[in-house]
């Protein structure tokens, strides 16, 4: 799955990206994070970006496009990725279209987190206060003054992307002012509706539990669920292979055992839950 998270600074893109990464086993590609790492390491890209970032401006398109293109080629991005903070301009979006086409990859969705701008300043102030309380280092561009500049650049340079992706029928807009888990659920529902993700554990348990516990006929839904479960298992097997690649034999065996056990447990739990639901429904009747 390949998606873009779009939204002004402070809209929760980073938080949502991290939650989605855990849920779908994909990687987060944040140009902001990559640039900060380059600045910290003092690389040529970092030296170029340092001042621009500190003042809230945008790093040149060719620099970020180059970083993203290289990153997409890494093996850990094969299963999918979330672009966070990229593209930020129409030329970047066009360059992304080109490079995805070149790499024979398809973009599944662009999720826009729509937020109330006046609430953003509050969010950033709270985040900075919490970080200071925890003794964490605060980003140099996380000040109200720089945020205003970042917001202005979002409005003039990034907001046109909403039109760009809406024209290409890729855009889904979600209310970013909801609670964090509600936003995550809304994104998940949207991805399900677009067919970008498959109904995993729930679907698998429904397929397993229905014929055994209720004697129900194999419905079309159950068949679809079984198919989804099969492909999930296939993906899990593939991921295990990747994870244990290069490990010594005993370590390989142990890792495989752990994955097998976890998958079994998840299937069992899901099946039990569905069976309970069905029994309850029948008792009601
Ligand atoms: P972020 O962490 O996404 O808020 O990014 C922090 C800063 O990095 C931005 O204010 C920009 O200076 C720079 N930056 C990150 N992504 C991009 C991008 N796609 N294009 C240009 N500059 C970027």
How many distinct helices (H) and strands (E) make up the chain?
Answer: 12, 5
Q: Is the pLDDT of residue 4 over 80?
A: yes
Given this model, what pLDDT does residue 154 score?
94
Where are the domains positioned within the chain? Answer: 2-26+79-209, 214-284
Given this model, what pLDDT does residue 198 score?
81
Which residue's CA is minimally distant from atom 11 of ligand 1?
A: 58
Cα 20 to middle of ligand 1, angstroms: 20
First to last CA, the chain: 41
pLDDT in tens, 35-88: 999 999 999 999 999 999 999 899 999 999 999 999 999 999 999 999 999 999
Q: Which long-range contacts (CB under 8 A, 24 or more apart) does 177-182 make?
A: 177/114, 177/115, 177/116, 177/119, 180/12, 180/15, 180/16, 180/19
CA 230 centroid distance within chain: 23
Ligand 1 binding pocket, CB closer than 6 Å: 9, 31-32, 35, 52-53, 56-59, 64, 85-86, 88, 92, 141, 150
DSSP 158: I
Given this model, what pLDDT does residue 85 score?
95
- Beta strands 109-114; 2-6: pairing state: parallel
Q: Is the pLDDT of residue 265 over 80?
A: no
Given this model, what pLDDT does residue 236 score?
44
**What fold is seen in the domain 2-26+79-209?**
Rossmann fold (3.40.50)
Round the average pLDDT of the chain to a whole number and report it: 78
Residue 44: both structure tokens together: 């040529």
Cα 250 to middle of ligand 1, angstroms: 44
What global pTM score does this model have? 0.69
Sheet of 171-175, strand order: 27-30, 81-84, 2-6, 109-114, 171-175
Return the closest-CA partner of residue 149 out of 13, 53, 62. 53
Which residue's CA is minimally distant from atom 2 of ligand 1?
A: 32
pLDDT in tens, 200-224: 634 333 344 333 333 333 444 445 4
Cα 263 to middle of ligand 1, angstroms: 38
Name the more confident of 234 and 200.
Answer: 200
Residue 145 pLDDT class (50, 70, 90 cuts): confident
């Amino acid at each position: 799955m390949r998606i873009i998270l779009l939204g002004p600074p402070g809209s929760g893109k980073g938080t949502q990206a991290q939650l989605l990464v855990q849920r779908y086993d994909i990687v987060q590609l944040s140009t902001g994070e990559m640039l900060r790492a380059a600045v910290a390491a003092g690389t040529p890209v970092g030296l170029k970006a340092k001042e621009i970032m500190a003042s809230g401006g945008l790093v040149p398109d060719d620099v970020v496009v180059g970083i993203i293109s290289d990153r997409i080629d890494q093996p850990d991005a094969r299963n999918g990725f979330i672009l966070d903070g990229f593209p930020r301009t129409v030329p970047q979006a066009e360059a992304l279209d080109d490079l995805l086409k070149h790499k024979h990859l398809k973009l599944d969705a662009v999720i826009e987190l729509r937020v109330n701008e006046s609430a953003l300043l509050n969010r950033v102030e709270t985040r900075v206060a919490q970080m200071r309380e925890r003794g964490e280092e605060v980003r140099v561009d996380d000040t109200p003054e720089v945020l205003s500049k970042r917001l202005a650049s979002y409005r003039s340079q990034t907001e046109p992307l909403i039109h760009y992706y809406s024209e290409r029928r890729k855009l889904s807009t979600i209310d970013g002012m909801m609670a964090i888990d509600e936003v995550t659920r809304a994104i998940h529902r949207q991805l399900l509706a677009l067919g970008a993700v498959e109904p995993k554990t729930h679907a698998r348990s429904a397929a397993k539990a229905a014929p055994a516990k209720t004697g129900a006929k194999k419905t079309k839904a159950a068949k679809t669920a079984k198919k989804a479960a099969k492909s999930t298992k296939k993906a899990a097997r593939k991921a295990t292979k990747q994870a244990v690649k290069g490990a010594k034999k005993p370590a390989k065996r142990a890792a495989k055992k752990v994955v097998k056990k976890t998958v079994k447990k998840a299937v069992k739990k899901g099946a039990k839950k569905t069976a309970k639901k069905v029994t309850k429904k029948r008792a009601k009747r």
